[in-house]
A = this chain, B = another copy of it.
């Protein structure tokens, strides 16, 4: 019998590359405004605008695009020409249509674990964009449940576990964001495997849990996940040390 009723995966930068698309777009955004401001100041103001707009627009690519436009208007005191605003919208369209590039080991790890576990995909952002990426990833068939949520908080995980009648101690979450994938699940009494990605959006950066925190694991890449699960299954690693 598997140790977990459900193994859930984050998608962006856990199964497929996303942050680097944002980073590339941000480079182009900086170039667009290079005659007005320094790259550092542009980044800082864009981040401030994104944070301020979270309450209005939530997460996702369309929110990011609206925040880029707003930042461009502010930083140029309204002098940005319309065709450059259009360029920002075109950046978004390119991102939306970009090929989904899976992380190394993602395809084989998900296929292998799906054979013995119920897998769930939990991702946040634009419904339409996330659905399109899931479809293009080729991984959808391995997931018994796909959940696109507006935010990943303790409350949203609690609601998902309740909806699927899964006890937290039988739930494992795998992801690259301590803030969104790991800490809220540990807080509920679930298990979580942190797989760092080489770039993290500032908003998602936070302190890791204390050493020895029950249910918390870290591996270098997805290819190491099956071996960790085997160690947990044979009791060689303890999900909830007593």
Known contacts A56-B97, A128-B58, A128-B59; A79 and B82 CB within 8 A of each other: yes
- Choose the segment among A9-17, A67-75, A180-188, A230-238 that binds chain B (4+ C-beta atoms closer than 8 Å): A67-75
**What 8 A-B pairs come out closest when comparing CB atoms?**
A58-B128, A78-B82, A62-B62, A73-B82, A78-B83, A127-B127, A128-B150, A73-B86
How far is it, in angstroms, between the C-alpha of A150 and the C-alpha of B96 when the chains are bound?
A: 15
Chain B contacts for A76, CB-based, 8 A:
82
How far is it, in angstroms, between the C-alpha of A76 and the C-alpha of B85 when the chains are bound?
A: 12
A89 CB within 8 Å of chain B: yes
Chain B contacts for A127, CB-based, 8 A:
58, 126-127, 148-150
A window 74-98: CB within 8 A of B: 74, 76-83, 85-86, 89, 92-93, 96-97
Please tell me if the beta carbons of B97 and A86 are within 8 angstroms of each other in the complex. Answer: no
Other A-B pairs, 14, CB within 8 Å; known A56-B92, A66-B92, A127-B149? A58-B126, A59-B128, A62-B62, A66-B66, A66-B89, A69-B69, A72-B82, A73-B83, A73-B86, A76-B82, A78-B82, A82-B85, A85-B85, A127-B150
Chain B contacts for A57, CB-based, 8 A:
62, 96, 128
How far is it, in angstroms, between the C-alpha of A127 and the C-alpha of B127 when the chains are bound?
A: 6
How many chain A residues touch the partner (CB < 8 A)? Answer: 37
A25 CB within 8 Å of chain B: no
- Could you tell me which A residues sit within 8 Å of B by CB distance? 56-60, 62-63, 65-66, 69-70, 72-74, 76-83, 85-86, 89, 92-93, 96-97, 126-129, 131, 148-150
Closest Cβ neighbor of A57 among chain B residues? B62
How far is it, in angstroms, between the C-alpha of A78 and the C-alpha of B60 when the chains are bound?
A: 26
Closest Cβ neighbor of A82 among chain B residues? B78
Closest Cβ neighbor of A88 among chain B residues? B69
Please tell me if the beta carbons of B89 and A70 are within 8 angstroms of each other in the complex. Answer: yes
Closest Cβ neighbor of A128 among chain B residues? B58
How far is it, in angstroms, between the C-alpha of A57 and the C-alpha of B90 when the chains are bound?
A: 12
Chain B contacts for A97, CB-based, 8 A:
56
Partner of A66, one of B62, B131, B148: B62
Known contacts A65-B66, A127-B150, A128-B59; A81 and B78 CB within 8 A of each other: yes
* A–B complex contacts, Cβ < 8 Å, 10 sampled: A57-B96, A58-B128, A60-B128, A62-B66, A62-B126, A70-B86, A76-B82, A78-B81, A78-B82, A126-B126
